[in-house]
């Protein structure tokens, strides 16, 4: 799974690095280092295929799709956890806002009642 994760990361970063290389934003040394890292990952993947085939014949052909599925599952689990955390934060914010609104509504109601009482007193005083 780790080898597949690194391969995906290299594949995602390569176009941006190529663009930086074309514009001269990075040097040849960094591009060479990236190429070496890419070759190392490919060699590691070949080792994984060989090792997988020692456990079960032709398993090397399916192990990467299985690893990719497992990685996707892990991403989905992480996203679910993040979504739950965000929901908790939003729920706390919503509850705080509701509490503030209730407090403000109560203050407004009390103020209206005071004003009504004052108007009644003024009306009685005029009579």
- Residue 51, pLDDT score: 92
End-to-end Cα distance, the chain: 89
Name the one residue in this structure whose structure tokens are 């103020």: 111
Average pLDDT over residues 29-53: 93
The pLDDT, as a whole number, for residue 77 is 97
Contact 51, 63 (CB under 8 A): no
Instruction: Return mean pLDDT, the chain.
Output: 93
Q: For position 98, what pLDDT does the model report?
A: 96
Among left, alpha and beta (phi > 0; psi -120 to 50; other), residue 24 is left
Residue 124: band (very low, low, confident or very high) from pLDDT cuts 50, 70, 90: confident
Using the CB atoms, write b or e for 28-66: b if 16+ within 10 Å. Answer: eeeeeebeeebeebeeebeebeeebeeeeeeebeebbee
pLDDT grade, residue 60 (50/70/90)?
A: confident
Residue 55 reports pLDDT greater than 80:
yes
pLDDT over 90 (residue 127): no
Those residues with Cβ within 8 angstroms of residue 102's Cβ, 6 or more apart along the chain or in another chain: none
Cα(127)–Cα(119) distance, integer angstroms: 12
Confidence at 125, pLDDT banded by 50, 70, 90: confident
Q: What is the pLDDT of residue 61?
A: 82
State residue 83's pLDDT score. Answer: 98
Percent of the chain exceeding pLDDT 70 equals 100
Residue whose pair of structure tokens reads 């060989």 in the numeric block: 50
**For residue 25, what is the enclosing H or E element?**
none
């Amino acid at each position: 799974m780790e080898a597949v994760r690194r391969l995906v990361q290299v594949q995602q970063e390569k176009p941006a690095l190529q663009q930086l290389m074309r514009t001269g934003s990075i040097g040849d040394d960094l591009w060479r280092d990236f190429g070496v890292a890419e070759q190392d990952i490919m060699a590691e993947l070949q080792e994984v295929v060989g090792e997988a085939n020692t456990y079960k014949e032709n398993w090397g052909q399916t192990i990467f799709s299985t690893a990719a599925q497992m990685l996707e599952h892990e991403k989905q689990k992480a996203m679910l956890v993040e979504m739950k955390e965000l929901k908790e934060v939003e729920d706390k914010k919503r509850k705080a806002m509701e509490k503030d609104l209730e407090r403000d509504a109560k203050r407004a109601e009390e103020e209206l009642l005071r004003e009504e009482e004052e108007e009644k007193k003024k009306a009685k005083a005029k009579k």
